[in-house]
Amino acid sequence: MRQNQNLLVNLTFVLSFCFFPFFTAKAQSVGKSTPASTNISQTSCPCIQEDLSVVFKIKAPDAKQVQIDLGKLYNMTKDEQGVWNVTTAPQLPGFHYYSLVIDGVAVADPASDTFFGMSREASGIEIPEAGVDFHLIKDVPHGTVQSKRYFSSKTNSWRRIFVYLPPEYEQNLTKKYPVLYLQHGAGEDETGWVKQGHLDIIMDNLIAQKQATPMIVVTTNEYVIRNIGAGYNTESTNHFMDLFKDELVDVIIPFVNQNYRIANDREHRAIAGLSMGGGTSFRIGMLNPDKFAWVGAFSSSAFRGTNGNIFDAEKQIPGIFTNPEKFNTHLKLLYISSGEQDHSYEYTKKTIETFKEKGLKLQSNYFPGAHEWHVWRKALHDFVPKLFK
C-alpha cells in the first residue's frame, strides 16, 4: 500500500509537471548553442552545442532527483532557483528518443515535441548532421498526408493508416499511381514514418529532383495483436507477421484501392519497413510474390536469428536457397540495408553475403549510424528511387 501511495504522489507530481508550461526553464547563455528543432518553443532548451553535446534545463524545485535518459542516464544538478541542469556527452547526428526521469518516474519533457516510440509517447531530439538536408523542407512542390480510418473485419475494430499523395495527385485526375506499403518498428505505430521519419519531405524532395517516380505511400499499424514477445523466427512471431499479412492483403490493400487511384497489380506494389517492420516486410514480400514485386528491409533484426545464429532462411522462406531463380524471376527488387553501428549489422552483412552466394539477386547498402531513425531515413532515400523504374 505504501508503494502505491508513493507512486501516486510521484504520478501527481509528474502530471502537474507535464501540464504546466511555466515549469520549463528558458534557455540562457550556454555558449554557442541552438535550441533543438524538435523543441516546442525555440527559446527553450534542450540546446545543441557546437560539439553536438546537449544542454537540458528543467525547473522542478520540489523534485528530489531529476535525470535525462538519452540512451545513457545523466544525473542533473539543481541550482538555487530550482532549475535542474546537465550537459551530455556529444551525440551522434540523427533523431533520438529521450525521457526525463523525475524521482524514478520516466516522463516526456514538456519542452520537447512528443513522438510515439518505446511503446509510449516520448520526447525526441533532432541532432543535425552537417551537409545532410534530404529530409528537410525545401522550396519544392509538396504532397499531402491524409489520416484515414477504416474498419477491419480481422480485428473487428476501427483502425488508421496514413497516406502520402504526391504533389501532382490532385492535378492529374486520370493517372493511376504505384504504391509503397511502409512499416514501422517495434514500439512505434503508423505515425512513425510521418513524424519521426519525415516521409513526406523525403518524398517531395526526391520527386522534385526527378529521382523518384511519383507514388502513393501508405503507413500502417503493424500491431494486429499486442504482447507478441521478443525475438524473431519463433512460431509466435511468425504468427504475428502472418496475421498482419492477412490484415494488409485482405483489408488494407482493398481499402486503399477503393479510395485512391492505384495501379492495382504486383508490378506497381512495394512493401518495406524498418526493424520489426523490415522483418515483417521481408517475410510478407518473399512469401507473396503474386502481391509484391518490390521488397525492402531496413535494419531488420530478423536476420539475427535465434541463439546468436543467422536465421534459417530456407525454413522461413522455402526455396530461397534451393530455388533462388524463382525469386529472381518474380522480384523486381530485393533491397536490404543496415546502420554500420547497428546491433544487427554483422548478421545482416553475413545474410547478404549468403544470399548472394546462393544466387539470390539483391541490392544492399550500409549507412553510418546505429538502430535509429536517421539511418532509416537514409535507407528510404536510397530505396525509393529504385522503385517502379
pLDDT at 183 over 50: yes
Please tell me the predicted confidence (pLDDT) of residue 42.
78
Contacts of 15 (CB under 8 A, 6+ apart): none
Please tell me the predicted confidence (pLDDT) of residue 198.
98
CATH class of residue range 2-127: mainly beta
Q: Please report, rounded to a whole number, the percentage of residues in the chain having pLDDT higher than 70.
A: 87
Residue 99: strand pairing partners: 69
Confidence label for 19 from pLDDT (cuts 50, 70 and 90): very low
Please tell me the predicted confidence (pLDDT) of residue 227.
46
CA 99 to chain centre: 18
CA-based nearest residue to 319, from 348, 291, 349, 289: 289
Q: How would DSSP label each residue in 333-350?
A: EEEEEEETT-TTHHHHHH
Q: Are 247 and 154 in contact (CB under 8 A)?
A: yes
Please tell me the predicted confidence (pLDDT) of residue 309.
61
Confidence label for 232 from pLDDT (cuts 50, 70 and 90): very low
CA 229 to chain centre: 19
Please tell me the predicted confidence (pLDDT) of residue 315.
87
What is the CATH number that goes with domain 144-386? Answer: 3.40.50.1820
pLDDT at 214 over 90: yes
pLDDT of 273-323, one tens digit each? 999 999 999 999 999 999 999 999 999 988 876 655 667 889 889 999 999
Give SS3 for 184: coil
pLDDT at 264 over 80: yes
Residue 125: strand pairing partners: 96
Q: What's the CA gap between 122 and 12, in Å, rounded?
A: 18
CA 309 to chain centre: 25
Q: Classify 103 in phi/psi space as left (phi over 0), alpha (psi -120 to 50) or beta.
A: left
Mean pLDDT across 257-278: 97
Please tell me the predicted confidence (pLDDT) of residue 15.
33
How do the domains of the chain map onto residue ranges? 2-127, 144-386
Confidence label for 233 from pLDDT (cuts 50, 70 and 90): very low
Mean pLDDT across 138-148: 98
Count of Cβ atoms closer than 10 Å to residue 288 Cβ: 16
Q: Are 76 and 67 in contact (CB under 8 A)?
A: yes
Four-CA torsion 388, 250, 186, 202, nearest 10 degrees:
30
pTM for the structure as a whole: 0.87
Please tell me the predicted confidence (pLDDT) of residue 32.
78
Please tell me the predicted confidence (pLDDT) of residue 310.
61
The answer to whether the bond into 214 is cis (omega within 30° of 0) is: no
Grid coordinates belonging to 166: 504526391
Count of Cβ atoms closer than 10 Å to residue 102 Cβ: 23
pLDDT at 45 over 50: yes
Please tell me the predicted confidence (pLDDT) of residue 13.
33
Mean pLDDT across 50-72: 95
Please tell me the predicted confidence (pLDDT) of residue 91.
94
pLDDT at 255 over 50: yes
Confidence label for 239 from pLDDT (cuts 50, 70 and 90): confident
Please tell me the predicted confidence (pLDDT) of residue 302.
81
Q: What's the CA gap between 306 and 170, in Å, rounded?
A: 48
pLDDT of 361-384, one tens digit each? 999 999 999 999 999 999 999 999
**101 phi, psi to nearest 5 deg:** -120, 105
pLDDT of 329-341, one tens digit each? 999 999 999 999 9
